[in-house]
Amino acid sequence: MIYTVTFNPAIDYVVQLEHLTQGTVNRTGDEAVYCGGKGINVSTVLTNLGIENVALGFLAGFTGDAVENALQRKGLRTDFIRLQNGMTRINVKIRGACETEINGKGPDIGPAALALLYKKLDAVTDGDDLVLAGSIPAGMPGDIYEKIMAALQEKKVRVTVDATGDLLLNVLKYRPFLIKPNQHELGELFGRTLKTGDDIRACAAKLQDKGARNVLVSLAGDGAILLDETGQFQEIGVPRGTVRNAVGAGDSMVAGFLAGYLKLGTYSYALRMGAAAGSATAFSDELATKEEILKLLNTF
C-alpha cells in the first residue's frame, strides 16, 4: 500500500488574464478550479494508474468539504483528519504575460490533530510506501517529517520525501528511499546555481552521502537525472509536446517513479515511468491519465 501525506491541501483557483492591472477591476478570460497539494497530486496520478493508495492529511471548513468531495468523485481513497477551526486554503494562480500566485495560509494544526495522524500511520506496515510531500503550515513543528520517519524506523517502509530546504535536509539521516528536488531546489540546498550536468551530479552525490538512497533531480524541459542507490547515474530526456501546465508535473514524476518501481523493481523503468508521467501532466490541462502516461512511455 502507498500512503501519501499532505499537510496543507488547497483549492487552486486558476485564472487567465491577458493583463493584470493593479487598482482596477480585472476580468478573467478563462478560469478553472483544481483540488490539490503535492501529496494529493501524487495520490491522484497513482489512482489514475490503478495503483492502490490512501491520501492522508488535514482538511477544514467548507473548502475542506469541497476538496474531499472532489477527490472522492475522482475515485481517490481518502482518510483525512478534520480540523475544528479554520479552512483549507485557496490558492489563486494568475496566468498571463507572467504567472503570479497568491497562496493561502491554511488552518492551524494542533497537537491533538497531529496525534491522530500518528495513529493513522500506525497502519503503515513492512513493505508499504509513504510519501511526505510539500510544505508544512506555519506554526507546525519544523521537524515533523523527521519525527514521522523516526516513528517508522522499526518498520521496513520506503519513504519518499518531496520537500525543500531544511525540511528535506534534516530527514536524510533516516535514509529516505527517494527524494526529488528540481534543479533550482538542489542548488538552493548548497547555496549555488547549478549550470552543468556535472554540477547537478556532484550535488546529488552529496545528498546521497548524507543518507538519501535515490536522488531524482527534475530538470524541467531537459528531463531528469537519477542517482540510484547502487551509485549509478541515469539520465532521461523529455518527449516532444507542448507544455500547457507545469502544476503537478513534479508530483506526477514521483507517482510515476513509484508505480514503475513497484511494477518491475528496476530503477531504469521507474525513471522512464516517472519521466512519462511528469511530461504527460505538463502536456495536459490536468493531472495525467493512465492513457496519456502510457502513450508517452512508449516514446522513450
The Cα–Cα gap between 254 and 122 comes to: 23
Work out the number of other CB atoms within 10 angstroms of the CB of residue 244.
11
Write out the DSSP string of 71-113.
HHHTT--B-PEEESSS--EEEEEEESSS-EEE--------HHH
Residues 12, 129, 162, 251: which is the catalytic one? 251
Q: Is residue 163 within 8 Å of residue 145, measured between CB atoms? A: yes
The Cα–Cα gap between 168 and 211 comes to: 11
The Cα–Cα gap between 148 and 99 comes to: 35
Query: Which cell is 119 given?
Result: 495513529
Is residue 251 part of the annotated active site? The answer reads: yes
The Cα–Cα gap between 168 and 133 comes to: 10
Query: Which cell is 21 given?
Result: 492591472
Residues designated as active site: 251
